[in-house]
């Protein structure tokens, strides 16, 4: 159960979402559920509507700066609904960890600083990979004069090749994490459970299972 003083921080990334309330209600519910029970005090709540892109994301977030300052003054813990509401940026998350302000994500309440950094690394990689794949695919299609949605054996083969390359790149991004768990004596089944606990996404954004771990390890060790 939650104990102590808390400051809540909610964020959506567009003006449209801010006006509609899309996403904010769900964040408030998640924080409320996390705080349910125990002896706690919610000192204040701050809501931000902006973009989180860039390593200087904190400069664009006056509400987050105000929330952190209140936490420092009142020795409170910053509480958010999900870690990605802060940032999918390793530098930014590392800076928060080093700021001296304790923070907790309602969807990962047991996560320590190492787990949070691993999550941030994977989130940043996934964001950049998706962006690059999208840009590359559009540029290639434009160069070839291919209309979006065109079907055929050649297009299918190219799609499969891109999927294979993505799977290999994703496996390589997990090399240190998986080999580290292996060195610590984790079985492959235990690795799947630990990755799910850390909220590290498996290929295609799915949950980890024993066969998934085996396939990714096979790619790494080939």
- The C-alpha atoms of residue 167 and residue 182 are separated, in whole angstroms, by 20
How do residues 152-183 score in pLDDT, each as one tens digit? 445 556 656 666 677 777 777 778 788 878 87
Query: Are 125 and 173 contacting, i.e. CB atoms less than 8 angstroms apart?
Result: yes
What's the mean pLDDT when you consider all of the chain?
77
**Mean pLDDT, range 128-143, rounded to an integer:** 70
Phi, psi of 101 (to 5 degrees): -95, 125
How do residues 199-209 score in pLDDT, each as one tens digit? 887 877 778 88
How do residues 85-94 score in pLDDT, each as one tens digit? 665 667 777 7
| Domain boundaries along the sequence of the chain | 3-109, 124-221
- Rounded to the nearest 10 degrees, how much is the dihedral formed by the CA atoms of 22, 24, 30, 33? -120
- The confidence band for 10, taking pLDDT boundaries of 50, 70 and 90, is very high
Write the CATH number of the domain with boundaries 3-109.
3.40.50.1390
């Amino acid at each position: 159960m939650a104990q102590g003083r808390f400051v809540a921080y909610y964020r959506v990334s567009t003006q449209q979402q801010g006006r509609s309330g899309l996403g904010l209600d769900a964040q408030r519910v998640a924080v409320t559920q996390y705080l349910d029970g125990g002896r706690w005090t919610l000192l204040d709540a701050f809501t931000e509507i902006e973009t989180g892109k860039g390593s200087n994301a904190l400069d664009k977030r006056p509400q987050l700066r105000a929330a952190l300052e209140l936490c420092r003054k009142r020795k409170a813990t910053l509480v958010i609904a999900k870690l990605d509401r802060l940032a999918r940026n390793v530098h930014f998350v590392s800076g928060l960890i080093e700021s001296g302000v304790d923070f907790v994500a309602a969807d990962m309440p047991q996560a320590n600083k190492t787990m949070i950094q691993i999550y941030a690394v994977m989130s940043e990689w996934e964001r950049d990979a998706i962006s690059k794949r999208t840009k590359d695919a559009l540029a290639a299609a434009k160069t070839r004069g291919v209309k979006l949605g065109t079907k055929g054996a050649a297009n299918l083969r190219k799609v499969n090749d891109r999927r294979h390359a993505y799977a290999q790149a994703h496996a390589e991004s997990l090399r240190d994490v998986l080999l580290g768990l292996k060195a610590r004596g984790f079985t492959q089944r235990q690795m799947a459970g630990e990755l799910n606990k850390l909220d590290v996404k498996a290929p295609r954004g799915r949950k980890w299972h024993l066969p998934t771990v085996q396939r990714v390890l096979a790619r790494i060790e080939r």
